[in-house]
Amino acid sequence: MSDTPLKNISTDHLFLRAARGEQVERPPVWLMRQAGRILPQYRALRANFPDFKAFVKTPEAAAEATIQPVDELGVDAAIIFSDILVVPEAMGLDYKMVESVGPRFPTVITGATDVKGLRSGQDAAASLEYVFNALRVTKKALNGRVPLIGFAGAPWTIFAYMLEGGGSKTFSKARRMLYADPALSHQLLEKITTTTIAYLKGQIAAGADLLQLFDSWAGELPPAHYREFAVPYLQRICEALPEVPKTVFAKGAWFALEDLGEMSCQVVGLDWNTPPAFARARVGADKVLQGNLDPCTLYAQPEVIREATLEMLRQFGPKHIANLGHGVYPDTPLEGVRTFVNTVKGL
Ligand code: 1CP
> Which CATH number is associated with domain 14-345?
3.20.20.210
Q: Which atom of ligand 1 is nearest to the CA of 32?
A: 20
At a CB cut-off of 8 Å and minimum separation 6, what does 232 contact? none
Domain boundaries in the chain? Answer: 14-345
pLDDT confidence of residue 11: 76
> 172, 100 in Cβ contact below 8 A?
no
Q: What mean pLDDT comes out for the span 144-157?
A: 98
Query: What pLDDT is stored for residue 231 in this prediction?
Result: 98
> Does 214 contact ligand 1 (Cβ within 6 A)?
yes
**Per-residue pLDDT averaged across 104-109, rounded?**
97
Please give the number of the atom of ligand 1 that sits closest to the Cα of 51.
1
With a CB cutoff of 8 Å and minimum separation 6, the contacts of 328 are 31, 32, 33, 34, 36, 38, 295, 298, 337
pLDDT confidence tier of residue 5, bands split at 50, 70 and 90: very low
Nearest CA to ligand 1 atom 40: 102
Is 84 close to ligand 1, i.e. is its CB under 6 Å away? yes
The tens digit of pLDDT for each residue in 30-55 reads 999 999 999 999 999 999 999 999 99
Our answer on whether the CB atom of 33 is closer than 6 Å to any ligand 1 atom is yes
pLDDT for 9 equals 56
Q: How far is the CA of 25 from the centre of ligand 1 (A)?
A: 31
Cβ neighbours for 5, distance < 8 A, ≥ 6 positions apart: none
